Amino acid sequence: MTVEVRVTATLQNLVGGQKVVRGQGETVGQVLTDLEQRYPGFQTQVLTEDGALHRFVNIYLNDEDVRFLQKLDTPLTEGDVLSILPALAGGNR
């Protein structure tokens, strides 16, 4: 399965400045592993050492937060779009 992965904000630096990359896998977690192989260091920005999602990064399958699905085990189907969205703080000063 190949899905589109949309990478926002600071995380784009990890994939050579691209906004959209393609990832392979049957689940969200497998796609992250695939991206790690091509973009070493990517996974550590998204996952903790224990392999869980960082709490300041959200992954959306289409428009649904995977934390409310099956997290990293969430299965993918052809045509799905994953979005990886880190918390932003800017605004004021």
Q: According to CB under 8 A, which one of 4, 52, 56, 70 is a site residue for another protein?
A: 56
Extract the tokens encoding 22. Answer: 């393609």
4 touching another protein, by CB under 8 A: no
Place of tokens 């497998």: 30
Helix (H) or strand (E) holding 30, with range, is: helix 28-38
Scanning 22-30, 35-43, 71-79, 85-93 for contacts with another protein by CB under 8 A, the matching segment is 85-93
44 closest CA partner among 21, 76, 11? 11
Q: Which residues are near another protein by CB under 8 A? A: 8-10, 19, 45, 54-58, 60, 63-65, 67-68, 83, 85-93
